[in-house]
Chains A and B, each alone.
Chain A
Amino acid sequence: EAGVTQFPSHSVIEKGQTVTLRCDPISGHDNLYWYRRVMGKEIKFLLHFVKESKQDESGMPNNRFLAERTGGTYSTLKVQPAELEDSGVYFCASSQVAVGELFFGEGSRLTVL
């Protein structure tokens, strides 16, 4: 069974540009989460989807970040326009039940120059 896959693994962009990160959860997992780790700091929650609905987006930094989950399958996280402080590793995770094990992808490293 395929795990959580994220694309791209690494993206380098200039300040002001747009980047879209994609996450494909494990098939059948209704819960999808986005987390972010800025260098040297803890991994922080961004938002949670249940199927295609946003259950909790309290961790989204600001309105430059837009997350979608099409048809309850894959999800995208768009940053527009990107700022220097957006650099970090963006993790996606999925789970079948709410308190079950979260399965994480390898992360998408974003570098904003």
Chain B
Amino acid sequence: AQSVTQLGSHVSVSEGALVLLRCNYSSSVPPYLFWYVQYPNQGLQLLLKYTTGATLVKGINGFEAEFKKSETSFHLTKPSAHMSDAAEYFCAVSRRSGGSNYKLTFGKGTLLTVNP
């Protein structure tokens, strides 16, 4: 079975400060890892994903995440927060579960607040 733990249901940073959202996963097989973002009144949008290859993954809006197998982590970072980054962020893990199904297991989400 897979699981995802996001440390901190709510993270608050100042504009221009480093954003660090933590995600640890549990998977019995090599995972595919994702970060999704949900802005107010919108659907979930893919920020970035790790499938194979380079462990440092760059996504949209200046975000990046590093897959660390030894730590079973996939933390999301951004060097400088912007007011528009305020949203809820979800870490997710996927594995093949039969046929072509790569269903996602999500963490509980982290609400990011950016203060002026």
List residues of A whose CB falls within 8 A of some B CB: 3-4, 31, 33, 35, 40-45, 48, 50, 55-56, 58-59, 91, 93, 98-99, 101-107
Q: Chain B, 74-106, contact with A by CB distance < 8 Å: what is the 0/1 string?
A: 000000000000000010001011111111111
Chain B residue with minimal CB distance to A45?
B103
Interface hit among B13-21, B22-30, B42-50, B65-73: B42-50
List residues of B whose CB falls within 8 A of some A CB: 4, 32, 36, 41-46, 49, 51, 90, 94, 96-109
A31 to B103, CA, bound (A): 11
Q: How many A-B residue pairs have CB under 8 A?
A: 64
* Min CB–CB distance B16 → chain A (angstroms): 30
Decide if A48 touches B106 in the complex (CB within 8 Å): no
Q: At the interface, is chain B mostly helix, strand, loop or mixed? A: loop
Decide if B46 touches A31 in the complex (CB within 8 Å): no
* Min CB–CB distance A98 → chain B (angstroms): 4
* Min CB–CB distance A25 → chain B (angstroms): 12
Measured between beta carbons, the chain A residues less than 8 angstroms from B43 are 3-4, 91, 103-107
Decide if A56 touches B107 in the complex (CB within 8 Å): no
